[in-house]
């Protein structure tokens, strides 16, 4: 039975559902056609079919399943048309056309080496060493995160044209190399781990603070990334950074409900109602961080970048109020993070922690030192942080100009609204 919607709603429903479900559809279809480029095209074909049929027939009860079934049927038709269709159909299995499209998230967890998760397979396939590191990130964000080229460009601080070229080249390389759609074992798995951790982290970040659009959060991306981080930690129980990433995402996700107000407006960390933080996720984050720390040479000094970020998030989670936060410890941890994984964004975050621990003047010195960083030229958080520090120092006119500049650079409507509100407050 199809659900009745007013005439103007089906397109919006289709676009929303497709954005949420496209990673699973692409992953499921890739299992059939063994080519991520073709799988993405078939997913787009299913979208076109929905755009043609749903406005007439109504939106199905389970739109995600409808899109998955449509894409899979087209994939099967494509395989049948190939010369070796008999061999391919044998691999797919007789029950493929009637199998439920949703992945069982707990399948295989008793035996980490046998995890059967198409999304995780897609991540490891897109992170194959045949691709450059930049191409791995861009392709996985596109296929698994459902991000547009512009959103990926913002996430990795690169131009849209460069990102588009990386994605095209990556698809061609995977197809030409006949790369298997699988979670690898042994040394091959170790070789891809860094890229896999990075793309899961970037997907979560896009869900936690969307680079563009009308909403601050994209919860479906956060949920997918968090689930993948948990599965990866189960798959590689001896990897400190797998547990570190899981800890970081658990702790960050715990704040989601408090990050927006009743109308979807952004709420700053200092203004968040901490009773709305999810205590279960915090406990899970603490446990995962403890596992990462148990594998390190020392509680902090031996931690990798993700575990260090989790330790920073844990400092916030331990504080009952914003004023109780141990900013000295956070500044120390950011110093360690800057040594492990130096980047302008890490330095900007370190500047905020130093400002809270040692005073706004000390933080402003560090922020001003980043003014010439090319990677931060169009990064709205640089003038936003500078505006905040100037406002604390009573330099209201300068702060207002910085907030207005940050608002002009921000592509997310909720962030832009907050920045303009802060500018008006100066």
Total structural domains within the chain: 4
The whole model's pTM is what? Answer: 0.72
In a domain, 59, yes or no: yes
115-168: pLDDT as tens digits: 447 877 888 888 888 898 889 888 888 887 677 888 888 777 788 999 999 999
350 and 333 co-located in one domain: no
151 and 257 co-located in one domain: no
Q: Pick the closest to residue 338 from 325, 348, 352, 327 (CA basis).
A: 348
Q: Pick the closest to residue 138 from 184, 169, 173 (CA basis).
A: 169
* Range of 66-70, 175-179, 403-407 with top mean pLDDT: 403-407
In a domain, 141, yes or no: yes
In a domain, 167, yes or no: no
| Residue that wins the pLDDT comparison between 147 and 376 | 376
CA 58 to chain CA centroid, Å, is 32
221-278: pLDDT as tens digits: 888 789 889 888 887 888 899 999 999 999 999 999 999 999 999 999 999 999 999 9
309-349: pLDDT as tens digits: 999 999 999 999 999 999 999 999 999 999 999 999 999 99
Q: What is the CATH number of the domain that holds 386?
A: 1.25.40.10
| Residue that wins the pLDDT comparison between 281 and 232 | 281
149 and 231 co-located in one domain: yes
Domain endpoint, select from 321, 338, 355: 338
Domain endpoint, select from 315, 338, 361: 338
Query: What confidence score (pLDDT) does residue 346 get?
Result: 96
Query: What confidence score (pLDDT) does residue 409 get?
Result: 95
Query: What confidence score (pLDDT) does residue 300 get?
Result: 52
Domain endpoint, select from 338, 361, 393: 338
Query: What confidence score (pLDDT) does residue 116 get?
Result: 46
226 and 129 co-located in one domain: yes
Query: What confidence score (pLDDT) does residue 2 get?
Result: 53
Q: Pick the closest to residue 39 from 68, 59, 9 (CA basis).
A: 68
In a domain, 178, yes or no: no
Within 10 Å of residue 396's Cβ, how many Cβ atoms?
13
In a domain, 164, yes or no: no
What is the share, in percent, of the chain residues with pLDDT greater than 90? 45
353 and 426 co-located in one domain: yes
SS (H, E, C) the chain: CEECCCCCHHHHHHHHHHHHHHHHHHHHHHHHHCCHHHHHHHHHHHHHHHHHHHHHHCEECCHHHHHHHHHHHHHHHHHHHCCCHHHHHHHHCCCHHHCCCCCCCCCCCCCHHHCCCHHHHHHHHHCCCCCCHHHHHHHHHHHCCCCCHHHHHHHHCCCHHHHHHHHHHHHHHHHHHCCCCCCCCHHHHHHHHHHHHHHHHHHHHHHHCCCEECCCCCHHHHHHHHHHHHHHHHHCCCCHHHHHHHHHHHHHHCCHHHCECCCCCECCHHHCCHHHCCHHHHHHHHHHHHHHHHCCCCCCCCCCHHHHHHHHHHHHHHCCCHHHCCHHHHHHHHHHHHHHCCCHHHHHHHHHHHHHHHCHHHHHHHHHCCCCCHHHCCCCHHHHHHHHHHHHCCCHHHHHHHHHHHHHHCEEHHHHHHHHHHHHHC
In a domain, 104, yes or no: no
> Residue 3: beta bridge partners?
59
Query: What confidence score (pLDDT) does residue 6 get?
Result: 46
229 and 254 co-located in one domain: no
260 and 204 co-located in one domain: no
254 and 310 co-located in one domain: yes
Query: What confidence score (pLDDT) does residue 93 get?
Result: 58
Q: Is the pLDDT of residue 75 over 70?
A: yes
Q: Pick the closest to residue 129 from 198, 197, 192, 194 (CA basis).
A: 192
362 and 350 co-located in one domain: yes
Q: Give the β-pairing of 59-60 and 212-213.
A: unpaired
323 and 390 co-located in one domain: no
176-226: pLDDT as tens digits: 888 888 878 778 877 788 888 988 898 898 888 877 777 788 887 888 789
Q: What is the CATH number of the domain that holds 89?
A: 1.10.1740
Q: Is the pLDDT of residue 284 over 80?
A: yes
84-117: pLDDT as tens digits: 545 555 665 554 454 444 433 333 333 333 344 7
In a domain, 284, yes or no: yes
Domain range for 245 = 237-338
Q: Is the pLDDT of residue 361 over 60?
A: yes
pLDDT confidence of 37, banded at 50, 70, 90? confident
259 and 224 co-located in one domain: no
15 and 29 co-located in one domain: yes
């Amino acid at each position: 039975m199809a659900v009745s919607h007013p005439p103007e709603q089906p397109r919006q429903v289709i676009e929303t559902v497709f954005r949420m479900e496209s990673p699973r559809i692409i992953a499921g279809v890739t299992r059939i056609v063994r080519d991520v480029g073709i799988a993405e095209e078939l997913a787009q074909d299913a979208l076109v079919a929905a755009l043609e049929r749903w406005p007439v027939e109504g939106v199905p009860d389970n739109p995600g399943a409808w899109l998955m079934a449509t894409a899979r049927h087209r994939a099967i038709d494509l395989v049948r048309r190939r010369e070796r269709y008999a061999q391919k159909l044998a691999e797919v299995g007789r029950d493929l056309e009637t199998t439920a499209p949703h992945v069982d998230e707990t399948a295989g967890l008793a035996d980490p080496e046998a995890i059967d998760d198409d999304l995780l397979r897609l991540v490891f396939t897109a992170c194959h060493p045949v691709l450059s590191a930049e191409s791995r990130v861009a392709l996985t964000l596109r296929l698994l995160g459902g991000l547009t080229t512009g959103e990926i460009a913002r996430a990795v601080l690169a131009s849209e044209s460069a990102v588009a070229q990386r994605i095209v080249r990556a698809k061609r390389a995977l197809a030409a190399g006949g790369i298997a759609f699988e979670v690898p074992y042994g040394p091959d798995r170790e070789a891809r781990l860094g890229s896999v951790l990075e793309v899961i982290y970037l997907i979560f970040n896009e869900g936690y603070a969307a680079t563009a659009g009308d909403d601050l959060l994209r919860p479906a991306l956060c949920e997918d990334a968090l689930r993948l981080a948990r599965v990866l930690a189960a798959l590689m129980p001896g990897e400190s950074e797998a547990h570190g990433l899981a800890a970081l995402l658990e702790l960050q996700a715990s704040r989601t409900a408090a990050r927006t107000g009743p109308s979807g407006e952004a709420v700053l960390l200092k203004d968040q109602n901490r009773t709305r933080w999810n205590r279960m996720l915090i406990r899970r984050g603490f446990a995962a961080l403890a596992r990462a720390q148990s594998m390190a040479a020392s509680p902090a000094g031996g931690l990798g970048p993700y575990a260090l970020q989790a330790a920073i998030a844990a400092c916030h989670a331990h504080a009952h109020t914003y004023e109780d936060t141990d900013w000295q410890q956070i500044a120390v941890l950011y110093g360690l993070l800057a040594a492990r994984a130096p980047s302008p964004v890490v330095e900007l975050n370190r500047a905020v922690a130093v400002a809270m621990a040692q005073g706004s003047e000390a933080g402003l010195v560090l922020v001003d030192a980043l003014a010439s960083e090319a990677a931060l030229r169009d990064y709205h958080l640089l003038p936003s942080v500078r505006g905040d520090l100037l406002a604390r120092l009573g330099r209201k006119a300068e702060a207002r100009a910085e907030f207005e500049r940050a608002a002009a650079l921000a592509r997310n409507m909720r962030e832009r609204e907050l920045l303009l509100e802060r500018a008006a407050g100066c």
